[in-house]
Amino acid sequence: MSLITEEQVVLDLTGADRHEATRLLGERLVASGRCTDLDTFIADVRKREETMATGLPGGIGIPHARSTAITEPSLVFGRSADGIDWGAKDGPANLIFLIAAPEGGGDAHMQMLPKLARALMKKDFKAALAAATTEAEVVRIVSAEVELDQPAAAPAAAAAAAPAGADATGGAAPAAAAAAAAPAATAAPVAEAPRVLNLVGVTSCPTGIAHTYMAAEGLEAAAKAAGHTIKVETQGSAGSSPLSAAEIAAADAVIFAHDLPVKDAGRFAGKPIVDVGVKKGISDGPALVAQAAALADEWRADPSKAAAATAATSGASGGLVSKVEAGASTGTKIRQWLMTGVSYMIPFVAAGGILIALSFMLAQVALGEQGAIEIVKYNLTSADQYNIAQNFSALSLTSWAGLLFVIGGAAFGFLVPILSGFIAFAIADRPGLVPGIVGGFIASTMGAGFLGGLATGFIAGFAARWISGWKVAKGVRGVMPVVVIPLLSTFITAGLFITVLGRPIKALSDALTTGLNNMSGSSALLLGVVLGAMMGFDLGGPVNKAAYFFATAGLATAGTAADAPQLKIMAAVMAAGMVAPLAMALATTVRPGLFSEPERENGKAAWLLGASFISEGAIPFAAADPVRIMTSSVIGSAITGGLVMLFGSTLRAPHGGIWVLPLIGSFLLFLLALVIGVVVMTTIVVALKSRDTHLAEIDATATV
């Protein structure tokens, strides 16, 4: 079946904004029977738009999404005479393609979507669409570039259907030609200039439907125009044909145009790399190719650059990634640097916290009420009965509890160094790891806690980035990443912290710890209310993440105390984060008539999401009705957060929801606080929605 029909063409598209225009296009899919639920599909498209605007340079809009409401891969074309703002920097879009793919679309169908993306890079294709006078003409123009069925036996058709990763013309290079080209490339004189370069690239975008392939097409067209060859690995929805080791080895330079971390980026160690966002691959292909060519010539003239890059990018750290957006505001970057550190720290928190919590549980069974106090005496260094390495007995429950405690404590010992190291990594990439981790260890040793780790992380990151930017003699470049950068940045970070910053930050950390330890009654309740409200405000957004960061970072200073206030904060934050999705699940169950069919379906999924501490389960409801849902969420979550703090429930695990319930101190009171918040939010949501003057219309929609 064709991707596009005459019914899926709108030659005079209108709309106050892109959302209204998208709905008009989506209605054509409903009319053609390819969309079973317009609201669900539009919600998926809008969620995609929130990730990254889908307007492209040259007056193009490509709203797209995978959705459970779509039955088969489909295209809807819209042409706007006045143009509609689709988020592109160069102005509104006149040619709009709504790309709809089933949630689990097969590979054969998904391969057609990259073809449309590539076709949109062709001037004659866009000109023909702009000049078309009938729906049938548009269908003919599009179908000439994008076809669902390709005769397997037709060489020409096979060449036209070649996936990304083809030669510079967009067609697949025959095996014989590739074999002939390899010796030719090898035999080319190294000193020859100008010369034909062998380039490779990787493209990706968050959903992998269009930008991925348009960037690949842009790079291929630019390389061809410059007289070079390029093979692009598209890490998108239609699958990927990975570049071979031989192709990477033969490459003169690499171009990354991506908005997702490049998979197995260590493959490209030792190659000059141009690294940009995916939209640059679409709009600035010639500039990127020229930049890659310049880097290739520079590296060819100075072999030490390749050696230095190999040393800096190879090894165990090759798979590490940091999602810090290029061009983001200073505030956004600071948050992303912090969250990078937290994301790498959390596995240590989870492993250590859960092991320690299990050790306390076993200790109470083996030793009674004093078990949690007694078990913290176990270690690996003493010469008495508490040295678990020398006195472990497989038949002793106490020994198992001691073993779990020692292992969990060891994991906890890495919290501040890892937090610091990966904040520095986010700022300066791999050169920041050594000074960051060493600085974090020193901060931990001095008792400066997570505040010290934050300080050393930022100092190390900026010191390493500054030193990495030095212009040095050629003879020194090879040792910069392995000797000079780690040596100097570590000295600066550690020296500055030990002599200047360490004691004041330790004093501040001690004051914070003392304040937390002294919290009781109204002060604990107030902190819980504030943190709970933050968790319920934007459901996974920056405010929510700030509260979560405060809780997880606090675990690093909780030590092994069973009732540390930081553990109460973690419990309060997790409980508050569970309220909104569970409340919406309950609301859609008790008053289904207040919600549309898609919302009721989302409500079913929200039970599991909420129980698992995934606040984002309430986002579909908040997106459709932000004022009422967010108001209700803030109130319900704040109540739960305050009650958990007041009840004194504790938690060492940074995540898990009901799945870590046995590890929660005073878990019955934890559940009581959660139930109260959920009931309060549900009551407010139902009350506010029941006052809707368009209730009859909502009820009608919900029963369709």
pLDDT, tens digit (0-9, with 9 covering 90-100), for 253-310:
999 998 777 877 878 888 899 998 887 888 788 889 999 998 988 888 887 776 666 5
Task: Please name the residues in contact with 250: beta carbons below 8 A apart, sequence gap of 6 or more.
Answer: 182, 185, 186, 198
Task: Please name the residues in contact with 321: beta carbons below 8 A apart, sequence gap of 6 or more.
Answer: 261, 262, 265
Q: Lowest mean pLDDT: which of 336-345, 496-505, 510-519?
A: 510-519
Mean pLDDT of 38-52: 83
pLDDT at residue 369 in the model: 66
Q: Read out DSSP for 59-90?
A: TEE--EEEETTBSS-EEEEEEEEEEE--S-TT
pLDDT at residue 620 in the model: 72
Does pTM surpass 0.75?
A: no
Contact between 357 and 411 under an 8 Å Cβ cutoff? The reply is no
Q: Which residue has the higher pLDDT, 108 or 663?
A: 663
Helices within 56-174 (DSSP H only): 107-110, 112-119, 123-131, 135-145, 155-160
Residue 405: in which H helix or E strand, if any? Answer: helix 397-412
Distance CA 158, CA 172 (A): 8
Contact between 460 and 337 under an 8 Å Cβ cutoff? The reply is no
Contact between 198 and 228 under an 8 Å Cβ cutoff? The reply is yes
pLDDT at residue 1 in the model: 62
Share of the chain above pLDDT 70, in %: 79
| Whole-Å CA distances, 190 to 185, 310, 455, 584 | 10, 20, 48, 66
- Residue type at position 559: G
What are the structure tokens assigned to 521, written together?
A: 């009654």
What are the structure tokens assigned to 109, written together?
A: 């169908």
Q: Is the preceding peptide bond at 194 cis, omega within 30 degrees of 0?
A: yes
Task: Go through 639-654 and write b for each residue having 16 or more CB atoms within 10 A of its CB, e for each that does not.
Answer: bbbbbbbbbbbbbbbb
Catalytic center residues: 64, 205
- Asked if the model's pLDDT at residue 440 lies above 80, the reply is yes
Mean pLDDT of 537-557: 74
Mean pLDDT of 368-391: 84
Share of the chain above pLDDT 90, in %: 28
What are the structure tokens assigned to 466, written together?
A: 């500054």
Q: In what order do the strands lie in the sheet with 253-258?
A: 229-234, 198-204, 253-258, 273-276
Residue 584, φ and ψ in degrees, nearest 5: -70, -35
How many C-beta atoms lie closer than 10 Å to residue 125's C-beta?
18
Burial of 627 (0-12, 13-18, 19+ CB in 10 A): exposed
pLDDT at residue 155 in the model: 40
pLDDT at residue 90 in the model: 74
pLDDT at residue 623 in the model: 65
The DSSP symbol for 21 reads H
Mean pLDDT of 215-243: 81
Distance CA 224, CA 294 (A): 16
What 3-state class would DSSP assign to 438? helix
pLDDT at residue 176 in the model: 37
- Asked if the model's pLDDT at residue 621 lies above 70, the reply is yes
- Asked if the model's pLDDT at residue 148 lies above 60, the reply is no
pLDDT at residue 698 in the model: 35
C-alpha distance across the termini of the chain, in Å? 28
Q: Which residue has the higher pLDDT, 619 or 189?
A: 619
Residue 103, φ and ψ in degrees, nearest 5: -55, -40
pLDDT at residue 324 in the model: 66
